[in-house]
Amino acid sequence: MKPITRRTCLTQFALAAAGTLPGVLRPFSALAADGEPQPAASEAESAAMFKIAHDLMEKSRVPGLSIAIARHGQLLCEQGFGFADKSKSDPVTRDHLFRIASISKPITAVAIFSLIEKRRLGLDDLIFGSSGLLKFDYGEKYPERVLKITVRHLLNHTCGGWDNSGEIDPMFYRPELAHKELITWTVHEQPLQFEPGAHYSYSNFGFCLLGRVIEKITGQSYADFVRQNILAKCGVTDMRLGGNTLADRAPGEVVYYGQAGSGTNPYDMNITRMDAHGGWIATPGDLVRFAMHVDGFKTTPSLLAADSIKNMTTASTANPHYACGWNVNAVPNWWHTGSLPGTQTILVRTASGLCWAACANTRAQGLNLDEFMWKMVKAVPAWRA
């Protein structure tokens, strides 16, 4: 598995460090006027980064991998490794699109907060019933607990159930059902185990509901609203919702590979229906551009006001490590991971001004992209200074 030779990959890194490889080092167009140029990786540091990536891919049998790293508003590195399509020996480039799975959740969260800032909805607005945002779109009468669910509960996974750990994650149930049929079935046939607000249960379905809230409030499709009002403002133009089958693969999208013996098929899911919780495809560079516009710093223009970012990244009392669409810690660093058959992803924003993303076109046992990306960043000490 060496579609990109060590010499080729090192040459790309070295040229990028020298600023002579077109498009590899792409500063943010929204870089503040007083932003200082960030340090580039030396040839020796680039070699160390290559070895870290090569070792990970060999150990976990990863066909293709792509990364992007930024610091204080400048994109320092975009690099692909391995195969986008093994059958054609196509190498991964910085422009290849990957399913990002649950990294879709921070994107949806930012979209919701953008509407909150416009006073088109509120964190404590109800979702269902006569006073709810979705009213009776999914039934003439709702269970008592369902009537108590708010926007906040969906954002921080405290709606009371519908989680991804039980026998049926609603978002993987009967892929032939459209959103309306799936939601109607779920709210009436899958009782909530807890009172809303009292218990953390990671819920893909909860973010599916947020997608429908966005559509109800704006009159646009979820994808159109996000692309026009969130992604376009970050300079991201190629992101879109993924297709379900290999034949539905978008131009420039990688091929996904299941792990031997896993019993899972990357092309046996309704990815498009996952839209607001797991349906987007993107490059790591796209993800970094998005995150740098909501990172709470002043290096790039922010999509949200400071108060909104604070609310979005403040953990709930039910889980001190999860806020509204983001994992958080006390540092404070913010991040989210994504995982589906055939893909594994991570997006991180650090308190020191770093931001990075990585995407793989398989979900391998033992593949730790978080540990891997910390190693990649630490290979260039100046980036951690």
pLDDT of 147 reads 98
DSSP state of 10: H
Instruction: Tell me the mean pLDDT in the region 349-363.
Output: 97
Q: How many percent of the chain have pLDDT more than 70?
A: 89
Q: Which long-range contacts (CB under 8 A, 24 or more apart) does 32-36 make?
A: 32/73, 32/298, 32/299, 32/300, 35/72, 35/73, 35/74, 35/299, 36/72
And the tokens for 199? 């218990």
Distances in Å between the alpha carbon of 380 and those of 194, 277, 373?
47, 34, 12
341: pLDDT strictly greater than 90:
yes
CA-based nearest residue to 28, from 288, 366, 362: 288
Is 266 within 8 Å of 342 (Cβ atoms)? yes
Give the model's pLDDT for residue 168: 84
pLDDT score at 365:
86
Is residue 160 a part of any domain in this protein? yes
Cα distance between residue 109 and residue 207, in whole Å: 9
* Residue closest to 360 by CA, chosen among 336, 339, 344, 347: 344
Q: What is the pLDDT of residue 42?
A: 94
Over range 269-281, report the average pLDDT. 97
pLDDT given at position 263: 67
CA distance 287 to 249: 19
Asked if residue 37 has pLDDT above 80, the reply is yes
Residue-wise pLDDT tens digits, 300-335 = 999 999 999 999 999 999 999 999 999 999 999 999
Number of domains in the chain: 1
Residue 13: predicted pLDDT: 46
How many Å apart are CA 89 and CA 324, to the nearest integer? 40
What is the domain-level CATH number for residue 213?
Answer: 3.40.710.10
pLDDT by residue (tens digit) across 117-146? 999 999 999 999 999 999 999 999 999 999
Position 166 scores a pLDDT of: 66
- 73 occurs within a structural domain: no
Structure tokens at 108: 């949806």
- Edge-to-edge order in the sheet of strand 98-99: 98-99, 280-282, 240-241
* pLDDT tens for each residue of 74-124: 999 999 999 999 999 999 999 999 999 999 999 999 999 999 999 999 999
Residue 295 lies in a domain: yes
Residue 78 falls inside a structural domain: no
pLDDT at position 4 over 50: no
> Does residue 63 form part of some domain?
no
Is the separation of the CB atoms in 300 and 30 below 8 Å?
Answer: yes
pLDDT of residue 234: 97
Q: How confident is the model at residue 26 (pLDDT cuts 50, 70, 90)?
A: very low
> How do beta strands 98-99 and 240-241 pair?
unpaired
- For range 365-369, the mean pLDDT: 93
Q: For residue 17, is pLDDT > 70?
A: no
Q: Which of 181-190, 254-263, 374-383 has the weakest average pLDDT?
A: 254-263
Q: How far apart are CA 282 and CA 350, in angstroms?
A: 21
Mean of pLDDT over the chain: 91
pLDDT given for residue 35 in this prediction = 64
Residue 120 maps to a domain: yes
pLDDT > 90: percent of the chain: 86
Q: Is residue 16 part of a domain?
A: no
At 363, is the pLDDT very low, low, confident or very high (cuts 50, 70, 90)?
very high
Distance CA 91, CA 338 (A): 23
State the residue range of the domain holding 140: 96-372
Question: What average pLDDT score do residues 28-36 get?
Answer: 44
State yes or no: pLDDT of 159 exceeds 60: yes
- Residues with Cβ within 8 Å of 20's Cβ and at least 6 positions away in sequence, in order, are none
Contact 195, 201 (CB under 8 A): no
Please report the pLDDT score of residue 384 as a whole number.
84
Residues in contact with 379: Cβ distance below 8 Å, sequence separation at least 6, in sequence order: 41, 45, 48, 49, 52
Given pLDDT bands bounded at 50, 70 and 90, which one contains residue 28? very low
pLDDT at 8: 33
Quick one: pLDDT at residue 2?
34
Q: What is the pLDDT of residue 280?
A: 98
Specify if 55 maps to a domain: no
In the predicted model, is pLDDT for residue 23 greater than 60?
Answer: no
